[in-house]
Chain A
Amino acid sequence: MTYKVMKKNVMKAIAAGKRLDSRELFEQREIEVKFGVSNKAEGSVSVKMGKTEVVCGIKMGVAEPYTDHENEGTMMTSLELTPMSSPDFEYGQPSIQAVETARIIDRGIRESGFIDFKKLCIKEGEKVWSIFIDLATINDDGNLIDAGALAALLALRVARFPVYDEKKEKIEFGEFTDKKLPLNVDKMPVTLTFFKIGDSLFFDPTREEEDACDGRLTMEISKPGKEEMINAMQKGGEACLTIDDVEKMVEEGTKAHKKLSNLIETEVEKAEKSEKHGKKK
């Protein structure tokens, strides 16, 4: 019953253009980034959006390429919705929520051309690098798609290749090179999920807000040149959208894209500075 009451409250507030936590409809919660949450990973980060926290670790492997892309490396994105992070998550087979969220995050990164897969080729048709983007929830207070996608980008940006012993054909895990992953930084996609309740749209929901919603549309936006490009979209939930709804999301999405990509650049720059500083010692 709490749920129905909560839905009513959320609906009332959003219809009046407000949020339960007094934010604007298109206002992000505070974002907190912390790199290096695991020194075993090739790159790692924790991202907090308000009370939501997601961690991402990049692991590298060497594998055979796919037969239809013999000179390209591979990438796999997975997400664990840990029971530790919410009473709603359970152990066992990955739920459809986990599978879908990971696939949405994967699609934006893949389709934007952010990773230069050809540069991950070691020996054509035989050996390529594979990138594993592994995400896990620490605390779920809504908007896991956007938080997860942001964590994935940040972790990729700071990741370094591990040492690879050509003779033994073995990765020396724990020993890192200075070599960054081959990324096209100008093509970096930012993920934004818009939610619909009644006829109103907004983004970055808390868990209560998200559960009250009728549906969502995720957009992954990059800006490789002068204009914004959409690299991936996914509608979720039973809501019906109008063409005008989608137009509004494009408008707000391009605005938010700018803010978020600035935040990423600032954080990555800070991380790289402190890394250099650390080495001088």
Chain B
Amino acid sequence: MAYTKRFDGRKLDELRPIQAKVGVIPNADGSALFGQGDTIAIAAVYGPKILNPKHQQNPEKGVLRVHYNMLSFSVGERIKPGVSRRSQEISKVTEWALTPLVMLDELPGTVIDIHINILQANAGTRCAGINAAAMALAHAGIPMKEMISAVAIGSMGGTITTDISKEEEDYEEDGEKAATDIPMTFLSNSEKITLLQLDGAIPAKKLKEALEAGKEACKKINEYQKKALKEYK
């Protein structure tokens, strides 16, 4: 049976309800909260500041460091606090996703630290984290070339579905896992991809459709991010 009706009644290309707020951590130079449905991420930016120890400095350009962390109570069964192989990887791909949009050439010898914490997880945490981090960077007044938005597109037994939930991630057909999870980012102006991951099984011919759906969804998310930044006082 094809997946035509979503578990939560959304249209196939519909995002979950979004909450976006800037300035949630007074100590940080920039901060933001981004929620997509039950997934909530907060991000804080500290910097640019002088990078110590000195030998880690890059005399030609600034360095971006991302620390992604899922809080131990953010999921069903408690996860062990601290760094895991998964969180290390997500930190790294997030770093690669965000680095192209920051004008690091203007900030030699410095570091910008981005801390992402997941309060509540219901799929798409790395995307919510990136959406929050992008807003936090803008809030910190870091020179940026363009904005970035992230979304997880799903292929539910071949049906392209936008912003999938945990329930959808676990979707099965005939007792077999039938959901493919494809987190991706699009830059707001150049419409280029800086993060792309996939796990599951999608016909190679369907990939383009998924990317196009992601592009449209990211345009919508970008509007929420801009609105929150404009509303911040």
State yes or no: do A and B come from one complex. yes
Interface code B195-211, partner A: CB below 8 Å = 1, 0 otherwise? Answer: 11111111111011001
Residues of B within 8 A of A243 (CB): 193, 208, 211-212, 215
Quick check: is A21 within 8 A (CB to CB) of the other chain? Answer: no
- Nearest-neighbour CB distance to chain B for A125, whole angstroms, equals 16
- Nearest-neighbour CB distance to chain B for A223, whole angstroms, equals 9
Quick check: is B85 within 8 A (CB to CB) of the other chain? Answer: yes
Residues of A within 8 A of B208 (CB): 243, 246-247, 250
Q: Are B207 and A103 in contact (CB under 8 A)?
A: no
Q: Are A233 and B211 in contact (CB under 8 A)?
A: no
Also in contact, A241 and B199, with CB within 8 A (given A96-B92, A215-B96): no
Residues of B within 8 A of A238 (CB): 96, 99-100, 194
Interface code A218-235, partner B: CB below 8 Å = 1, 0 otherwise? Answer: 000110100111111111
Of all chain B residues, which has the CB nearest A100?
Answer: B89
Q: Are B93 and A227 in contact (CB under 8 A)?
A: no
Residues of A within 8 A of B85 (CB): 99, 102-103
Kindly state the separation between the CA atoms of A235 and B99 in the bound complex, as whole angstroms. 14
Residues of A within 8 A of B201 (CB): 111-113, 222, 224, 229-231
Kindly state the separation between the CA atoms of A103 and B197 in the bound complex, as whole angstroms. 12
Quick check: is B182 within 8 A (CB to CB) of the other chain? Answer: yes
Quick check: is A51 within 8 A (CB to CB) of the other chain? Answer: no
Q: Are A250 and B93 in contact (CB under 8 A)?
A: no
Quick check: is B190 within 8 A (CB to CB) of the other chain? Answer: yes
Most-contacted residue by chain A among B191, B197, B208 (CB, 10 A): B197
Interchain pairs with CB closer than 8 A, number: 104
Interface size class of A (residues with CB under 8 A): 35 or more
Kindly state the separation between the CA atoms of A224 and B200 in the bound complex, as whole angstroms. 13
Of all chain B residues, which has the CB nearest A254?
Answer: B204
Kindly state the separation between the CA atoms of A230 and B199 in the bound complex, as whole angstroms. 8
Q: Are A234 and B197 in contact (CB under 8 A)?
A: yes
Quick check: is A237 within 8 A (CB to CB) of the other chain? Answer: yes
Residues of A within 8 A of B198 (CB): 230-234
Q: Are B196 and A217 in contact (CB under 8 A)?
A: yes
Q: Are B192 and A237 in contact (CB under 8 A)?
A: no
Interface code A228-265, partner B: CB below 8 Å = 1, 0 otherwise? Answer: 11111111111111110111001001100000000000
**Choice from B100, B187, B204 contacting A253 with Cβ under 8 Å:** B204
Quick check: is A127 within 8 A (CB to CB) of the other chain? Answer: no
Quick check: is A107 within 8 A (CB to CB) of the other chain? Answer: yes
Residues of B within 8 A of A235 (CB): 93, 96, 193-197
- Nearest-neighbour CB distance to chain A for B207, whole angstroms, equals 6
Q: Are B88 and A240 in contact (CB under 8 A)?
A: no
Kindly state the separation between the CA atoms of A78 and B69 in the bound complex, as whole angstroms. 22
Q: Are B89 and A99 in contact (CB under 8 A)?
A: yes
Kindly state the separation between the CA atoms of A245 and B184 in the bound complex, as whole angstroms. 14
Kindly state the separation between the CA atoms of A235 and B98 in the bound complex, as whole angstroms. 13
A–B Cβ pairs within 8 angstroms, 29 of them: A96-B88, A99-B85, A102-B85, A103-B86, A103-B89, A107-B199, A111-B199, A113-B201, A224-B201, A227-B203, A227-B204, A228-B203, A228-B204, A229-B203, A230-B202, A231-B199, A233-B196, A233-B198, A234-B93, A234-B198, A235-B93, A235-B194, A235-B197, A241-B196, A242-B193, A243-B193, A245-B193, A246-B208, A254-B204
Q: What 5 A-B pairs are tightest by C-beta distance, nearest first?
A: A233-B198, A240-B192, A235-B196, A228-B204, A241-B193
In addition to A100-B89, A227-B205, A234-B197, 13 A-B residue pairs with Cβ atoms within 8 Å of each other are A96-B88, A100-B92, A113-B201, A227-B203, A230-B201, A231-B199, A232-B198, A238-B96, A240-B187, A242-B191, A243-B193, A246-B193, A250-B205
Interface residues of B (CB under 8 A from A): 77, 85-86, 88-89, 92-93, 96, 99-100, 182, 187, 190-205, 207-208, 211-212, 215
